[in-house]
Amino acid sequence: ARPVQNLVGSGHSSRRIEAARPAKHRCFGSTASRRPDFLTCVTMVWKGFEFGPAPDYPGGPKGRSEDPVGYFQWKEHDVREKYVKMAQAKILRQKLKECYWKEEVNHMKNCKELAQQYLQSIQGIGVHRVNQGQFDK
């Protein structure tokens, strides 16, 4: 029998859980002991998602109704790219705030290049219709 601990004080006093047992290798899920072929071990390092190159726009004579799956794959990739650009703009904005705070009265001269980079980065990155303007064409 494995040791059992009570979760007193955490709002779950009526529940009991089994304490983690040491294993030769740490794997996710409770199926590790029953199905060794179905292991997803911690030793694999997650390096993020890898997406392929941008698919071509499926614009034919009928538009998106000709290839709806291709259209939505293209649209998803386009939105994902815009989210990456928005994240880069947020990083630049944070650096600009820090520069303004650090330089104090000389921020107009010393943070000019960073401000120009930030303004260039926010042009044309809108994902939603509210953000669409003259630069989102």
H or E segment at 16?
strand 12-18
Nearest CA to 28 among 13, 15, 41, 18? Answer: 41
Domain segments of the chain as ranges:
4-38, 67-131
Q: Which amino acid is at 31?
A: T
Per-residue pLDDT of the chain (137 residues; tens, 9 = 90+): 555 554 444 444 444 444 444 444 455 555 445 555 555 555 567 677 777 777 777 776 777 778 888 888 888 888 888 888 889 999 999 999 999 999 989 889 999 999 999 988 888 776 555 555 665 55
> Can you tell me the distance from the alpha carbon of 41 to that of 1, in angstroms, rounded to the nearest whole number?
25
In contact, 91 and 122? CB cutoff 8 Å: no
Separation in Å, CA 84 to CA 14, 71, 81: 45, 20, 5
Is the model's pTM score more than 0.75? no
Spatial distance between the Cα atoms of 4 and 17, rounded to a whole number of angstroms: 6
Count the neighbouring beta carbons within 10 Å of the beta carbon of residue 50.
5
Residues 104-128, buried b or exposed e (16+ Cβ, 10 A)? eeebeeebeebbeebeebbeebbbe
